Amino acid sequence: MACTSCSTSDGGAPKGCKNNGTCGTDSCNKLTVFDWLSNMTLPGGQAPFDCVEVRFKNGRKEFYRNAEKLTLSIGDIVATEASPGHDVGIVTLTGELVKVQMKKKAVNHEGEVAKIYRKASQKDIDIWSTARDKEEPMKVRAREIAIGLKLQMKISDIEFQGDGSKATFYYTAEDRVDFRQLIRDFASAFSTRVEMKQVGFRQEAARLGGIGSCGRELCCSTWLTDFRSVNTSAARYQQLSLNPQKLAGQCGKLKCCLNYELDTYMDALKDIPDMETKLSTEKGDAICQKIDIFKGLMWFAYIGNFAQWHILKVAQVKEIMAQNKEKIKVSALEDFAVEIEKPAVEKTFQNAMGQDSLTRFDQPKKSNNNKKSNKNRRPEVAGKDKNPNAGPKIIQKITPNSNQNNPNQSNPTQNKPNPNGPKIRNEKKDSNK
């Protein structure tokens, strides 16, 4: 069950987790440990383990001793010992599994461990919530002060102590930073005790969280606690291109996941010759260009003709190397080359939207201006477009007086009946009489 900040808004839209994945109900915490010993009872007469694990902001966890024998369970808000004052956190683990976690993090449970004072009262929770609300505006103002002092540092996060008496500023920097004046400005601007703590770029990404290029949450903010060194040799062993944009994570360093499959690749490379393998043939020397580790294939190219590669199996490469060791040269790599048939790619694309052509937007649409202009034309002009030979006739029809200058030219309208014609002929007959 999630906390109240994960519920829906008034309109029904989800509000999302306002605590950035650090709920107080332990339902979506960072670095949460599953208590698989919770339903198991202790042997008779054995007292339960008196230490508990308490989580603070952004996955910071500490171990505290339950000296007061309080009845604590996962999700309880407690007031813990701090210097000075007290801090407020959430219990994330109890019981015998806490001893395992303390051993994993090299914490001696028999030595001095800070104590839990009490379960947090409502007053403690109100002060704690008020202090948490001040962190974001303080971070903006703190960055402005650091920029004004021209310090080469980045303030990534601010964490208030539970009683509001101290604020811890987490920052990252490439070089050593003299922040003595910065602390004075912070103390005068925020009226609180200031503590500066430098963290690495991986620790900064773990505190802030985010989504990786794989589409999942960052490993450092969900389950990864120890940051092992990652170098470019891990990418070389896995035959990855040394592209900083693809190999770098959110922190700007090499991805931690490059170490996950490195052992598997190292075991597979034991039976495969290295990339510096050189084969001697009568046609010339050949150098390895590429290796497919799990298929057991190697690509070779002659010196001076690196454009043409020849595919050989690992067993064939070892055979040629054994002959070269005895100072025997093979005829050519073509005798050992293997042809790999590329599987036919089945077209599984289904047009669900009825859009058949992917280039339908490349073809310009035909304008309908000609159709509209043809409708507005006069019938004589429209006929001119259909029959180009009818042009002179149309012109003669439009200008009926054009035949007066040339009486011998035939008039296309003389064959048409004229209602005044017979009367004119009768008048001529009368005049002859």
Q: Supply the DSSP string of 306-347, one letter for each residue.
A: EEEEEEEEHHHHHHHHHHHHTT--BS-GGGT----PPPPPP-
Number of Cβ within a 10 Å radius of residue 163: 17
pLDDT at 34: 82
Number of Cβ within a 10 Å radius of residue 323: 15
> Which residue bears the tokens 């950035």?
20
The pTM for the full model equals 0.64
The listed CATH number (1.10.3470, 3.30.300, 2.60.200, 3.40.50) that belongs to domain 127-199: 3.30.300
Are 258 and 230 in contact by the 8 Å Cβ rule? The answer is: yes
For 213, the token pair is 């290029």
Are 201 and 218 in contact by the 8 Å Cβ rule? The answer is: no
pLDDT at 344: 73
Name the amino acid, one letter, at 206.
A
* Mean pLDDT, each 10-residue run in order, the chain (433 residues): 50 54 53 80 83 90 92 92 91 91 89 92 93 93 94 93 92 90 92 92 89 90 86 89 89 92 90 88 90 89 89 91 90 84 70 58 62 55 47 46 46 49 46 44
Radius of gyration of the chain (CA): 44
For 300, the token pair is 């070779």
For 410, the token pair is 């035939």
pLDDT at 239: 85
In this structure, are strands 297-302 and 193-198 parallel, antiparallel, or unpaired?
unpaired
Taking the C-alpha atoms of residue 277 and residue 328, their distance in angstroms, rounded to an integer, is 16
Where are the chain's structural domains? 51-120, 127-199, 206-270, 273-326
Number of Cβ within a 10 Å radius of residue 257: 16
Q: Quick check: helix, strand or coil at residue 281?
A: strand
By CB neighbour count within 10 A (0-12 exposed, 13-18 middle, 19+ buried), where does 153 fall? buried
> Each residue of 270-308: pLDDT tens digit?
889 988 889 999 888 999 988 888 888 999 999 988 888
DSSP classification of residue 87: E
pLDDT at 361: 62
For 431, the token pair is 């005049």
Closest by alpha carbon to 313, among 348, 331, 289, 338? Answer: 338
